[in-house]
Amino acid sequence: MGLIIDKQTRDDLSIFGARGAESIFGIFNKTTTSGGAELLEEWFNYPLSDALSIVDRTATIRYFMEQSMPFPFQSSWFDQALFYLDMADERSRLQGGSLSLRERFQQLVGGDSEYKKIVGGIIACSQIIHCWKDLIRHSPADHSDSYQKELKKWVLKFADSSLEQIPLLQDRQRLSREMVIQYDNILRFEEKELLLSILRDIYTFDVYRTVAQVAHERQFVVPIVDSSQQDQLIFEGVFHPLVANARGNDHAMDRLHNITFLTGANMAGKSTFMKSLGIALYLAHVGFPVPAKKLLFSPRDGIFTSINLPDNIAMGYSHFFAEVLRIKKVAQQLAEGRKLFVIFDEMFRGTNVKDALEGTVEVVSRLYQHPRCQFVLSTHILEAGEQLKQSHGDIRFVFLPTVMQQGRPSYTYHLQQGISADRHGMIIIENEGIIDLLTSQKQLDS
């Protein structure tokens, strides 16, 4: 079973992003083939939760990061091959024997475009097959175990296959009609499913190579799966990959410290920090390198976030009720014994301070009773932190500080231990001249 994740979480973490906006998928979407791009999107849509599957994928990508792997295919080959293989109508199968009067006329005037497409498709498939076999044959000998398993699967697909009868053909090579009929029957009918499976193998190679290149360029690291069953999360130098010059931070969670309580002033970087944790863990479950210096993690059953939670006018839901439903969804997953990683940004911001204080303390106290899950919560209600500090000393209380410079706040984006007492909202309002603007308007009105 894959990682449980929903649209709200993907949107919060900018996994795919709105049209025209930057996204985590966009960072990696540099494949050479369109089929590779589709496979990459599939992997992003369906992250893994099984530790062994994650280990295999991360190990293979690490191998690609350590090797300089070529991709000697031409993109046009795949376009021609796929167009050709889509011509699946049995009525288009070429027949032996004498040409019909129509076929003779089309051949005479050079108008048999369908036949030309078949020939072009055969040549493209031939070039793909032989290029792939050469690439596999000349792979470096010092394979990782995971990549060795992949290679073995790829090689075995050619065993006892009619595809071995297809020679390497050159562009615009003249083929007899008998040869075209023979190769077409093999490629488009007898071994079509096998050929499509081989194309997917090549797309997989394309994705591995692309992800390794992106990781190298951006200095991402391969995550480490924790096999100790201690439900650990250890982030070192984790940063948000869509933020320019992002500051990295260290953070750790485990069964004893399963809740992180985050405070800090507006604009101090709380949401960005929480998103960086979620993005890194999401990518780790895809089996991809992560934006950090190190990430050791125990695979989760699901990841849920509540960061940019909208209200729902159509359903009549206020923002507060949307928050309540979101927490209920998490609670239902917990009741089923799921191991989750959950982010709540400013829990109960949609209601009054008194209810938000009571609700935050009560919910966090209940979440504390699920040590195999990890929860990261931010709030501006410092009193909730003080109460929880008295009753639940194992909670990690951290904050992002604000430094005042010449009456203006500046931000370090460096995580510190404790609860922040920074309250600079009024200073920001005054620095923006809002009070002066409103005062001058009042004087004009009088």
Calculate Rg over the CA atoms of the chain.
29
- CATH at residue 373: 3.40.50.300
Contacting residues for 7 by C-beta, under 8 A, at least 6 apart: none
- The verdict on residue 14 lying in a domain is no
- The verdict on residue 26 lying in a domain is no
Q: Quote the domain boundaries for residue 62.
A: 31-218
pLDDT at 276: 98
Closest CA relative to residue 127, chosen from 188, 77, 176, 189: 77
Quickly state the pLDDT bin for 84 (edges 50, 70, 90).
very high
Q: Whole-angstrom Cα distance, residue 63 to residue 156?
A: 21
Tell me, yes or no, whether 182 and 109 share the same domain. yes
Tell me, yes or no, whether 119 and 234 share the same domain. no
Percent of all residues in the chain with a pLDDT value above 90, rounded to a whole number: 70
- The verdict on residue 69 lying in a domain is yes
pLDDT digits 0-9 by tens, 218-259 = 999 999 999 887 899 999 999 999 999 999 999 999 999 999
Tell me, yes or no, whether 326 and 246 share the same domain. yes
Instruction: Identify how many contiguous H helices and E strands the chain contains and give both numbers.
Output: 16, 12
Helix residue ranges, H only, 368-433: 382-391, 425-431
Report, in this order, helix, strand and coil percent for the chain, each rounded to 5: 50, 15, 35
Tell me, yes or no, whether 371 and 418 share the same domain. yes
Q: What is the DSSP string of 67-112?
A: S-------HHHHHHHHHHHT---GGGS---SSPPHHHHHHHHHT--
Quickly state the pLDDT bin for 309 (edges 50, 70, 90).
confident
The number of distinct structural domains making up the chain is 2
For the four alpha carbons of 204, 235, 259 and 377, in that order, the dihedral sign comes to negative
> Is the predicted pLDDT of residue 111 greater than 60, yes or no?
no
pLDDT digits 0-9 by tens, 356-413 = 999 999 999 999 999 999 999 999 898 999 999 999 989 999 999 988 777 788 889 9
Q: Whole-angstrom Cα distance, residue 100 to residue 105?
A: 9
Tell me, yes or no, whether 128 and 147 share the same domain. yes
pLDDT at 115: 87
Burial classification of residue 339, based on how many CB atoms lie within 10 Å of its CB (0-12 exposed, 13-18 middle, 19 or more buried): middle
- CA of residue 192 relative to chain centroid, distance: 31
The reply to whether the predicted model has a pTM over 0.75 is: yes
Percent of all residues in the chain with a pLDDT value above 70, rounded to a whole number: 92
Residue 360 vs residue 107, higher pLDDT: 360
> Is the predicted pLDDT of residue 423 greater than 80, yes or no?
no
- The verdict on residue 16 lying in a domain is no
- The verdict on residue 120 lying in a domain is yes
- The verdict on residue 273 lying in a domain is yes
Longest dimension (CA), the chain: 101
Among residues 202, 218, 234, which one ends one of the domains?
218
Tell me, yes or no, whether 251 and 128 share the same domain. no
pLDDT at 89: 78
Tell me, yes or no, whether 357 and 248 share the same domain. yes
pLDDT digits 0-9 by tens, 164-173 = 999 999 998 8
Tell me, yes or no, whether 179 and 264 share the same domain. no
Question: Mean pLDDT over residues 134-155, rounded?
Answer: 87
Among residues 182, 199, 218, which one ends one of the domains?
218
Q: What is the mean pLDDT of the chain?
A: 90
Question: Mean pLDDT over residues 163-190, rounded?
Answer: 93
Quickly state the pLDDT bin for 103 (edges 50, 70, 90).
low
- CATH at residue 73: 1.10.1420
- The verdict on residue 10 lying in a domain is no
Tell me, yes or no, whether 388 and 286 share the same domain. yes
Among residues 218, 249, 270, which one ends one of the domains?
218
Tell me, yes or no, whether 37 and 179 share the same domain. yes
What φ, ψ does residue 252 adopt, rounded to 5°? -140, 145
- CA of residue 409 relative to chain centroid, distance: 35
> Is the predicted pLDDT of residue 442 greater than 80, yes or no?
no
What φ, ψ does residue 420 adopt, rounded to 5°? -75, 140
Tell me, yes or no, whether 391 and 258 share the same domain. yes
> Is the predicted pLDDT of residue 327 greater than 90, yes or no?
yes
Work out the angle between the directed axes of helices 192-218 and 75-85 (0-180°, nearest 10). Answer: 150
Tell me, yes or no, whether 404 and 310 share the same domain. yes
Q: Which two tokens stand for residue 361?
A: 């303390």
In degrees, rounded to 5, the angle at the alpha carbon of residue 124 between the alpha carbons of residues 192 and 197 is: 30
Residue 317 vs residue 25, higher pLDDT: 25
- The verdict on residue 13 lying in a domain is no
